[in-house]
Structure 1
């Protein structure tokens, strides 16, 4: 299993992987979790996919997507402030240029890829490591996200606890919560699974509208 980053300039090159990513999101968010999401041609997408995000993907065998996340600078627009402001203590993220927002995180846990010592799937830990590694390489030291209480417990088990940005709120069929996660060497060391493989490009400048 390896992790790679797909920035806007690589969308065409990796269009097959991105198609698999949207299908995985549809299967997880629309199927297993039964969230109210938009699925078109078998893939889930929303307006934040139109803002030139960088996608972090975990792949198996080099051609099968087993995990994904979407990264956009927290300077905005962000899902947290525009879609889920009720998760923030005062409705504002108070973003800085060193914050990146992660959204649409999911993994295919049906893949028989083994589990780590803390019983978390290798795809989950690979994704955590990839997000942290990319964030550090691109000048970000904090990762903000909206998730649910179940996933907050997974972060705790991985040794990467989230600091809440507000109280949990019932949204649809789940209880959601917003938080901030550190992007640093200590966190990377804590979550990094055995035989972690990265193909992430190293530091380049980031803009306020693109995580490229």
Structure 2
């Protein structure tokens, strides 16, 4: 299941992004031995500060199993500012209709072999489908990706072969890096879907993603104490508990209003009494949770 986290909704999915950065550290530093910046078990770089879109695959338990980062090429990006030697002196591609795809990785410890749903192959295809479909909706025509020869073979085998390459492959530390160009076309998406046997919508709605994250949090956290707004001392539902935690962590009035708007958008999920408690006494409701 795919969720896309960008500058508009990252305040709702901070925990998911944190897991993305942890996965990147385990894969790029731990498994692949890349020279990347890892702090407190999380891999981040300067491009993560530019509000890129993160295409994230989560499993049925809400665990992050794969991710990819999409960044506009009109500003700083890796091919222009880190891997420019690949281009052999040619200027980098810059266009509002070309995005850069980087930092793709999968959690091989949670995924199996073969081509079943919870396999590396399936999840890889799912992330690719999500990335291309999301890019299409944004008006993007092409994606450029810095990959290695192993990933190049994976793309070719999975119905997602690059349509061209930029510059020439260059040794970069322990790996060889190359720049691949892929069109965001219906034909490419159909080819990946056919390979993976994926015909359904891969995207998880924001509301369903929040419910899944709340269930995941419930499984890992003890039950919070009843609060002032919960006068009847009924156990909190999974979704109520999620909003309690979001409101408790809000640091500015803008963040409070974001939570309130989300509560309002999911109003049909709550009884009138629950909605009244969440909307009218949110800070009291969260105070002791």
Aligned to 2:140: 140
Which shifted more, 87-96 or 65-74? 87-96
Structure 1 or 2, whichever has the larger Rg, is: 2
Aligned to 2:204: 199
User: Counterparts of 1:156 and 1:183 in 2: how far apart (Å)?
Assistant: 16
Residues 4-83 of structure 1 aligned to structure 2 (within 5 Å): 4-61=3-60, 63-83=62-82
User: Counterparts of 2:43 and 2:147 in 1: how far apart (Å)?
Assistant: 17
TM-score between the two structures when normalised by the length of structure 2? 0.65
CA contact (8 A) 2:23 2:107 kept: yes
Question: Once superposed, which parts of structure 1, at least 4 consecutive aligned residues long, lie more than 6 Å away?
Answer: none
Aligned to 1:176: 177
User: Counterparts of 2:58 and 2:87 in 1: how far apart (Å)?
Assistant: 33
Quote the offset at 1:70 in angstroms.
0.9
Higher-strand-fraction structure: 1
CA contact (8 A) 2:111 2:120 kept: no
Q: CA RMSD in A?
A: 1.8
SS at match of 1:10: coil
User: Counterparts of 2:107 and 2:120 in 1: how far apart (Å)?
Assistant: 12
User: Counterparts of 1:161 and 1:40 in 2: how far apart (Å)?
Assistant: 34
Greater length-normalized contact order (CA 8 Å, ≥ 6 residues apart): 1
Aligned to 2:83: 84
Residues 104-143 of structure 1 aligned to structure 2 (within 5 Å): 104-112=103-111, 115-116=114-115, 121-143=121-143
CA contact (8 A) 1:37 1:44 kept: yes
Aligned to 2:149: 149
Quote the offset at 1:187 in angstroms.
0.7
Query: Structure 1 regions of 5+ residues with no counterpart?
Result: 202-212
TM-score between the two structures when normalised by the length of structure 1? 0.88
Change over 3 Å in CA distance of 1:75–1:116 after alignment to 2: same
Higher-helix-fraction structure: 2
